[in-house]
Structure 1
Amino acid sequence: MTPGARVQAAIDLLDSIVAAARDSGAAADTLIARYFAERRYAGSKDRRAVRELVYAAIRRLGERPESGRAAMLALAATDPELAALFDGVGHGPAAIGANEKAATPGTAPEWILAKLRESGLDGEELPALIDRAPLDVRLNWLRDAPDPIEGAEPIPGLPDALRLPSGTNIETLQAYQDGAIEVQDAGSQIVTLAAKAIPGMRVVDLCAGAGGKTLALAALMGNEGALLATDTDRARLSRLAPRAVRAGATIVETRLLNPGHETEILSDWSESADCVLIDAPCSGTGTWRRNPEARWRLTPDRIERLTRTQRHVLEIGAALVKPGGALVYIVCSLLDEEGAGQVSAFLADHAGWTADSLALPAGRAHGAGIRLTPAHDATDGFFVARLQRAC
């Protein structure tokens, strides 16, 4: 592909991504993979260059643009070499019109920025939300220790974590194939520690998804005890079983939940769990570094639906905790209405529950829990609280 053709390919992809964000379609990574699966002629350098253009344009724009071309013009406005490729030659994009408008740069839609500021974030915290994320892995001690990984660096405060060079093809590493490492952001590893999981415990990962935190819990428990991973999403939960086999996590039981019938399906765990971990569905405002187009998908109605779901799963989880046990509530959101506000409301409505103190390797006290942010902690953004049930 010529440089101009790469730019046009990025524009075409951005058109698809903008439409998908508007209509709740596929994620950007999925659309990019589909695009190149249909264009086998594009080499690895072409794919990498187009992908970098696409994500650079997405990160530059807070508001969802009108079109992929408007998005790329915003990027070209500060890059003369890129602007010069708008020449209409061959498969390249048409020349820039005299009155053609580029999309407006920004960090996020203004209504979301207002919510983030109300939640105590401002200054350097906001632009850091859309920086590129590093590649972190967790060492899995259920397997033998891996050989040294070239370029890997330790993460302060996390002896079981490494940060790998950007662009590392993780699936080609022998350590990954052997199950000795798992891809998991340092922030995700840190908030999982709030469960204080030890061997012999009975633990529920209520919103397990594909099981990143489940596998971390199994390692903390040394494969001793009972670990139940549940979710309402069959496709996501189905990915956990093969991951558990690769990781050597033998105590994991998976259970698909039917929305509205969760209590019935979990009746055998009623008031018997030492700890219930809830990685609740949320807006994902703390993960924009990895999914920057997610800023374009959010609406006030969606956040309201998510907060209702969060209240629902808190009630389900609380009913599984034994007297003296704990409920760990996690969201990868930095909005107080999904984090500190949810915990405050739960404590106000549930006598006999208190917020337990947490000593984690990173983060700052926020409400009844701890908050991690990209700017302060070099992790994804999280809120976590540990709630203790009275004996």
Structure 2
Amino acid sequence: MTPAARVQTAIELLDVVIAAARAKGAPADRILADWFKANRFAGSKDRRAIRELVFAAIRACGPVPDTGRAAMLRLAEVDTSIVPLFDGSNYGAAPVAEGEAVAEGGVAPAWLADRLAASDIAGPEAEALLGRAPLDLRVNSLKTDRATLKLPEAAQSTDAPHGLRLAPGTPVEQWDAYRDGLIEVQDTGSQIACLAVAAQPGETVIDLCAGGGGKTLALAASMDNLGRLIASDTDRNRLSRLMPRAERAGATNIEARLLNPQREADALEDLLGTTDAVLVDAPCSGTGTWRRNPEARWRLDEAELDRLVKIQAYLLDLAAKLVRPGGRVIYVTCSLLDEEGAGQFDGFLSRHPGWQPAAMDLPAGLARGKGTRLTPFHDGTDGFFIACAGRP
């Protein structure tokens, strides 16, 4: 493919991404993967170039663009080397017309940028949300340790005690160390959030929103496979991925439990009031993960944010019922909005008299309210709010 044809293809894919964002359909990654699978004529260099153009254009636009062409013209304002590729050549993009519409720049749609600014995420802090994330690994301490692990490529240690960092796109899933369960792909911020649980061997711990189990596996390693670790979720597909991952990692103390939405307590009834720690890694807006999913900011609206805030409060209240006297609830969200972070945690404490914020020994982050916040700008991680509360 010529460079001009790559630009036109990226424009057409952006049209699909924009439509999917408006309809809350497939994410950009999946859209591109499906297109590449169906269009084998595009070689590896073409695929890489098209992917970079699509995601660069997404990052360059604040609000949802009207069209893929408007998004690419916005990118051309940022990267002037693209302008000559609107050359009207065969399979290429048509020349730019005078006064043609260009998408608006910015960090996010105006309402969302305002919410972030109100949470002290503005300027460089906000701009860092749209950078490109590195590839972080967690060394599996059940099988090896960071000091002696040998990998095909040199990796940099991160603030997490078992964390390593590589360049984006490093093919770690092809490595023996990955196939043998010596490493897991996990952002350093997510690893630090697991440290807040302070899970100990012999404890009973619940990962209430386990999903595919990335944090569950880290907790199993912290517990040295001793004690009970219950991984629960309402998403059958995501939860089904956990046990094969656990087998590869050598994690043997994990129990998976599928929950029914709004009836979660039924499946956890035997654990009510008995658990040492409950991790609530709640569904959220994902504002801290835009480096990986930049079009996510086009999918969020105020009604969806309100819905997520209510779910977070509901899950925190459920977690409080599960914890024994003297136990703890750890609240984690990959959002940088205070209504999902510090404000949400304050609401929990106000609803549960006697519960107190508990100190956390974390290697990164800054205080935010009664918890800790990690940001891409300050910590080089995904964005997280992390807090811990102890039951009297």
Q: Measure how far apart 1:365 and its partner are.
A: 0.9
**Residue aligning to 1:241:** 243
The counterpart of 2:315, out of the listed 299, 313, 316, is 313
AA aligned opposite 1:303:
L
Structure 2: unaligned runs, 5 residues or longer: none
Structure 1 gap ranges (5+): none
SS of residue paired to 1:292: coil
Structure 2 residue 156 is the aligned partner of structure 1 residue 153: yes
User: Offset of 1:67 from its aligned partner?
Assistant: 0.6
| SS in structure 2 at match of 1:77 | helix
1:89 aligns with 2:89: yes
SS of aligned partner of 2:130:
coil
Q: Look up the match of 2:99.
A: 99
Where do 1:7-156 residues align within 5 Å? 7-145=7-145, 146-155=149-158
Greater than 4 Å deviation, 4+ residue runs: none
Secondary structure of the 2:101 match is: coil
Q: Distance between the aligned counterparts of 1:241 and 1:139, measured in 2?
A: 18
Q: Structure 1 length normalisation: TM-score?
A: 0.98
Cα deviation, 1:310-366, whole Å, max 9, x if unaligned, reads 011111111110100000000000111011111101111111211001220000111
The aligned amino acid for 1:165 is A
Q: Distance in 2 between matches of 1:244 and 1:59?
A: 35
Q: Any idea what the Cα deviations from partners look like across 1:225-263, whole Å, max 9, x if unmatched?
A: 000000011111111111111111111111110012111
Q: Deviations over 1:162-211 (max 9, x none)?
A: 00122201211111111100000000000110101111110000000001
Matches of 1:365 and 1:119, distance apart in 2: 13
Secondary structure of the corresponding residue to residue 179 of structure 1: coil
Q: Are the counterparts in 1 of residues 201 and 226 from structure 2 also a CA contact under 8 Å? A: yes
* Code of the aligned partner of 1:234: R
Paired with 1:250 and 1:274, the residues of 2 have a C-alpha distance of: 19
**Could you tell me whether the CA contact under 8 Å between 1:86 and 1:94 is conserved in 2?**
yes
Other-structure match for 2:281: 279
Q: Give CA-to-partner distance per residue, 1:121-161, whole Å, 9 cap, x none.
A: 22211101111111100000112353234121111x32311
Alignment of 1:231-270 (within 5 A): 231-270=233-272
Say if 1:151 and 1:165, in contact at 8 Å, map to a contact too. no
**Contact 2:60–2:78 (CA under 8 A) maintained in structure 1:** no
- 1:385 and 1:283 mapped to 2: Cα distance? 18
Aligned residue identity for 2:256: T
Q: In 1, distance between residues paired with 2:82 and 2:151?
A: 40
Paired residue type of 1:169: P
Amino acid at match of 2:32: I
> Is the contact between residue 228 and residue 252 of structure 1 (CA under 8 Å) also seen in structure 2?
yes
Q: CA RMSD in A?
A: 1.0
Identity among equivalent pairs (%): 56
Q: Which amino acid aligns with 1:299?
A: D
| Separation in 1, partners of 2:204, 2:81 | 59
Looking at structure 2, the residues matched to 5 and 120 of structure 1 have their Cα atoms a distance apart, in angstroms, of 41
Paired with 1:151 and 1:61, the residues of 2 have a C-alpha distance of 34
Please give the secondary structure, in 2, of the residue aligned with 1:337. Answer: helix
Do residues 325 (structure 1) and 327 (structure 2) align? yes
Cα distance in 1 for residues equivalent to 2:70 and 2:237: 35
Q: How does 1:177-188 map to 2 (within 5 A)?
A: 177-188=179-190
Q: Which residue of 2 aligns with 1:302?
A: 304
> TM-score, structure 2 length as denominator?
0.97
SS of alignment partner, residue 196 of structure 2: helix
